Amino acid sequence: MVYSDIEVASREELRDIQTERLTETVAYAYENVPYYQEALDEAGVTPDDIESVEDVSKLPFTTKEDFRDEYPDGLFAVDRSEIARLHASSGTTGKPKIVSYTDEDLDVWREVMARSLAAAGVTDDHVVQNAYGYGLFTGGLGFHDGVEELGACVIPVGGGNTARQIDMIQDLESDVLSATPSYCLYLAEAAEEQGIDPAELSLSRVIIGAEPFTDPMREEIEEALDVTAVDVYGLSEIIGPGVAIECEHAQDGLHLWEDHFYPEIVDPETGEPLPEGEEGELVLTSLTKEALPVLRYRTGDMTSLNYEECECGRTVVRMDNVTGRADDLLIVRGVNVYPSQIEEVMVDIEEVAPYYRIDLYRRNNLDTMELTVEYCESYEGTHDELESTIRQRLEEILEVKPDEIEVVGPGVIERSETGKVKRVFDHR
C-alpha cells in the first residue's frame, strides 16, 4: 500500500523537490546555527553556492563528534521555547547526542513512520505491539506516533518484560511486533521455555531494526515466529526510526524517504562520493528539519544505493540492508574483520544458536581473537565436533582466524532484556 504519492514520483520530480529543500536547508542552517556558519565559512562555501542537489558534496560533513562537541544544544536552530520534544542517544561512548523537534518536525516524523509502516504491510486494522524502549531513545515514541498516525492500534509494552510481552501477544492477539532482531529471537526462545510454540502466536509480521543483522538471522526469525520480518532504518541524529524501510512486497532493499532525507554513499576512509551501486558509508542530509537541521551526517553505516524502480512500484531510492558500521570494523593483526562476517557463518550452521561473543585481547604485543558460540538445544554431538565445523567454515571467509573457539550450552551467553546484544568486547 502506498501511503503518499511521493513514493511513486518520477526521479525528476524528486530531484526538483530535493533541490528546493536542500537550498532552503543550507541557507536556514547558515543563518540559525553558528556551528554551520563557521563550518561553511571555513570550507569556503556560501549558501549561494548550493544551486542544486548535485552541489551537496561541496558541503562539509557533520559527525557524531560534532554532536558531542556542541553538547547539549549547540546544533539547535531554534530557541528552547519552540522545541516540543527532546530525545537523546544512549551515550555509551561519551556524552549522549541530544536531538530536538519542533511541532512541525514531529508531524514529519509521524508521517514518515506511517509511510514506513504502510510499506511493511501494516494497516489501520492491525494491532501493533511496540517492544522498543520508550523514553529518551527515539525508537519507542517514534513507532508509537507512527502507528497512531496510520490509524492502527498500538500496545505500548516497551522493552523487556518478556513474559508479559508473550502474554500480551496471546491475550490481545497482536498482529505486528516492532523490536530488535535479537529480541525477536529472545522472545521466541522464551516462549519455547514456557511450553509455547512461538510459530503458533498471532503475529503475522515483525518490524526489526536498531542493530545490524544478516539474512540468515532474518530467516531464523521468520521461521521461529512464522512471520514476515521487515527491516526498518533510522537514527536519532536525523529523525529517529522512519528514515527507510523494506516493503513487504519485495523485501529487496529499504525505501528511503528521500524527499525528507538526502542520501549519499562515500568512501569511509577518504570521504569521497562513490558511484551508484558501490558499497560505502551512508551520509544523510535532512531536508525538512526545523529544530535540528543536519548537513551531510556521516552515519558510519555501510550500505549501497539502488535507484531502480522496485517491484512494488515505489520509485524512491532503496538502500541495501546495513552490513555493518565503518567504526565497528575490527582490525586484528592488521586484517579487517567485520562481526557481521562471523554472524553470517554462525547463523548458517544448523547446530549453532544465533548467539555469539567475540573477545579481543593483546598478548605479548600480538592481537588475539576468542570466539564463544552456543549450540542449539537439539544438538547431540560433542563440543569438539562442533568447534571443528565452526573453524572450518570460518576459514573459508576470514583472513584471520579465531585463536580460540569455545562452544557452550544454550543460554550461557548473556542476553539483553531490551534486545540489543553486545557481541564484541575489545580488551586491548
pLDDT per residue as tens, the chain (428 positions): 799 999 999 999 999 999 999 999 999 999 999 999 999 999 999 999 999 999 999 999 999 999 989 999 999 999 999 999 999 986 544 678 999 999 999 999 999 999 999 999 999 999 999 999 999 999 999 999 999 999 999 999 998 899 999 999 999 999 999 999 889 988 998 999 999 999 999 999 999 998 878 888 899 999 999 999 999 999 999 999 999 999 999 999 999 999 999 999 999 989 999 999 999 999 999 999 999 999 999 999 999 999 999 999 999 999 999 877 776 777 787 777 777 778 778 878 889 887 889 999 988 777 889 999 999 888 989 999 999 999 988 888 777 788 999 999 988 888 765 555 678 888 88
Residue 355's pLDDT is what?
Answer: 81
List Cβ neighbours of 259 (8 Å cut-off, separation of 6 or more): 6, 9, 14, 17, 18, 21, 287, 288, 316
Contact 317, 306 (CB under 8 A): yes
Beta-bridge partners for 405: 371
3-state secondary structure of 279: coil
- Neighbouring residues of 131: CB distance < 8 A, sequence distance ≥ 6: 157, 158, 159, 165, 177, 178, 179, 183, 187, 419
Architecture in CATH of 329-426? 2-Layer Sandwich (3.30)
pLDDT score, position 211:
80
Output the pLDDT for position 349. Answer: 87
Sorted by where each begins, the domain ranges of the chain are 1-327, 329-426
323 touches 303 (CB < 8 A): yes
> What confidence score (pLDDT) does residue 127 get?
98
Q: Is the pTM of this model over 0.75?
A: yes
**What is the rounded distance in angstroms from the CA atom of residue 150 to the CA atom of residue 138?**
18
Model pLDDT, residue 327: 67
In whole angstroms, give the CA distance from residue 318 to residue 284: 14
Q: Which stretch of DSSP H or E encloses residue 35?
A: helix 34-43
Q: Name the grid cell of 118.
A: 504502510
Task: Write down the pLDDT at residue 93.
Answer: 47
The pair phi, psi for residue 416, each rounded to 5°, is -110, 125
CATH superfamily for 1-327 is: ANL, N-terminal domain (3.40.50.12780)
